[in-house]
Amino acid sequence: EDNSQGYCIANEQSCATQLEEEEEKFIFYDVNPPEGFNLRRDVYMRFAIMMSEARKQGRRKNWNLVLPPWYNLYHWKTADVSNEPLPWSMFFDVESLKAFAPVVELHELFSKTKRKHFQIDRLYVLQNFPNAFENGVFDDKWEINTHCDYTASFWGYKNVTVKEIVCVKFQGMISKLWEVVMQSSHKYVMFAHGEIPLHDNYGSKSFWECRKSMKFSKKLIETAKKYISENLHCEGDICSTYISVHWRRQDFARARKRDVPSIKGTSTQIDKAIKKHNSDIVDVFIASDAQYSELIQLENQLKNLGYRVHFYSPTENDLQELRDGGIAIVDQIICTHAAYFIGTHESTFTFRIQEDREILGFESSTTFNRLCPDTGRCEKPSKWTIVQ
């Protein structure tokens, strides 16, 4: 450092450039490939809060978080939509994210550095400790693991590589990750398995501030609002005209039979909930990943009970423009504005809808409701209410 300062005095122009370069550092992260979109949103929040809390404390002001492009998500199955890495602006209002934490899109960084080939200095591969409760306690801790085997992939970019890979066993709060970051003076540091570090304070004031900053893109909001206005006859944020259901099927219907109802059980529960909440409601909006044949069965059963059933069915054009990820968000926004919402047990897709309803100010009894299995126990959903 002394040397570089000496150089700076001798040559002011490069001094400025050099210091500026030294100031800006970047954290990249990635998430376990099979994880879905809505868990990834929570992982983002952990990193964004880590950055913003450090800044609030007047520390690490030169560090920025690189938003990992959305690439090749397991649940995005529309085959004929081209499979390229998507920026966050496809789904979110990035200016709003930036107002909460120092984040940058990967393509912004590419254009800033003007390089054809981008090399990350060090990649830390996070791993779980084999025994989280060693000696009966869950301590926050980390340690370098010399047994390390990892094939890195960088959101589909062939021109991104890494100089050095280090495996780190990690458990505990994400703020502890700064200790790992500060191991070196590198400029570009990446974490794989970003889902391993936990929130410092789940449900705290800064949690909700970050959550509020995760506004969806204008395009997605407009698409959902147009659908609500045309099909569900509501113009405002808090609609009284329809109820919404997130009916998660696929792997949930196969592997979580004890948590989810049959198709018949679903229609019976929806009918019961409407009668209890407001028997004047006839419009039911269903968001689902179910197969077409299952949707038709549910629709017929609800029709027989006297309801009008609505699904958001994108046109080919919508699908090309919004992609699977955007279509799912439109479903979520429509669910968010309903008079009453029923979700699926332990689905992060449902959790994100519940959070948005908290932000809009719905009565929590209209939000924290779930579909129960046809028989057996049905635990009430946890109420993660907003902290202002």
Ligand X SMILES: C[C@@H]1O[C@H](OP(=O)(O)OP(=O)(O)OC[C@H]2O[C@@H](n3cnc4c(=O)[nH]c(N)nc43)[C@H](O)[C@@H]2O)[C@@H](O)[C@H](O)[C@@H]1O
- Just list the catalytic residues: 35
Among residues 180, 129, 124, 119, which one has the least CA distance to residue 150?
124
Question: In sequence order, what are the beta bridge partners of 308?
Answer: 283
Segment 69 to 108, residues that bind ligand X, using CB under 6 A: 75
Binding flag, residue 347, ligand X (CB under 6 A): yes
* Distance in Å, CB of 64 to ligand X, minimum: 26
What one-character DSSP code corresponds to residue 173? B
Among 93, 331, 355, 358, contact with ligand X (rule: CB under 6 A): 331
Among 36, 87, 203, 381, contact with ligand X (rule: CB under 6 A): 36
Stretch that binds ligand X, among 6-14, 121-129, 153-161, 286-294 (CB under 6 A): 286-294
Stretch that binds ligand X, among 42-50, 175-183, 324-332, 357-365 (CB under 6 A): 324-332
Could you tell me whether strands 103-105 and 63-67 are parallel, antiparallel, or unpaired per DSSP bridges? parallel
Sheet arrangement for strand 25-29: 103-105, 63-67, 25-29, 188-192, 118-127, 160-171, 141-145
Give the count of beta carbons closer than 10 Å to the beta carbon of residue 309.
Answer: 21
Contact (CB, 8 A) for 155 and 30: yes
State the Cα–Cα distance between residues 325 and 332, nearest whole angstrom. 11
Instruction: Decide whether 53 or 331 has the Cβ nearer to ligand X.
Output: 331
How many residues sit in the footprint of ligand X (CB under 6 A)?
Answer: 20
Q: What Å distances lie between residue 299 and 144, 200, 340, CA to CA?
A: 54, 43, 18
* Distance in Å, CB of 75 to ligand X, minimum: 4
Segment 8 to 27, residues that bind ligand X, using CB under 6 A: none
Burial of 2 (0-12, 13-18, 19+ CB in 10 A): exposed
Stretch that binds ligand X, among 62-70, 216-224, 245-253, 271-279 (CB under 6 A): 245-253
Binding flag, residue 169, ligand X (CB under 6 A): no
Instruction: Decide whether 6 or 33 has the Cβ nearer to ligand X.
Output: 33
Binding flag, residue 35, ligand X (CB under 6 A): yes
Among residues 283, 281, 240, 258, which one has the least CA distance to residue 371?
258
Binding flag, residue 44, ligand X (CB under 6 A): no
Q: Which residue is nearest to ligand X (CB)?
A: 36
Binding flag, residue 292, ligand X (CB under 6 A): no
Binding site for ligand X (CB under 6 A): 34-39, 75, 246, 248, 251, 287-289, 324, 327-328, 331, 347-349
